[in-house]
Amino acid sequence: MIRVLFFARLRETLDCQELDLDFSGTVTELKADLAKRGEVWHQAFHAEEVLVAINQVMSKNDECVKAGDEVAFFPPVTGG
């Protein structure tokens, strides 16, 4: 199982804060899986810039996700 988190506008768009999934593969593959969950999900992962952190570290699309990981998706950050 992996835990998937969503933040900010993305969380609102998907109306989803958190998912537990059976998954292993790259971030790109995970995004493709998530995009199949419905039109809103498809749009969110294709039309907008989505950043990813694996285990709370900024990561890239070609990195691998394995059981036990926490994967977070979010829009570009706007703090400071």
Partner 1 sequence: MDTILVQTQAFNAGELTNRLASATTAHGALVTFTGLVRDQTSDPVESLFLEHYPGMTDSALNDIVAQAKTRWPLGPVTLVHRVGLLYPGESIVFVGVTSAHRAEAFQACEFLIDYLKVKAPFWKKETTPSGQRWVATRSSDNAAAERW
Point out which residues bind partner 1 (CB under 8 A).
5, 7-9, 53, 56-58, 70, 72, 74-80
Our CB check for partner 1 shows the closer of 7 and 32 to be 7
b (16+ CB within 10 A) / e for 45-79: beeeebebebeeeebeeeeebeeebebbbbbeeee
In the bound state with partner 1, the residue whose beta carbon lies nearer, of 9 and 42, is 9
Nearest by Cα to 77 from 43, 54, 48, 51: 51
Q: How far is the CB of 71 from partner 1 (least distance, A)?
A: 12
Minimum CB distance to partner 1 smaller for 41 or for 74: 74
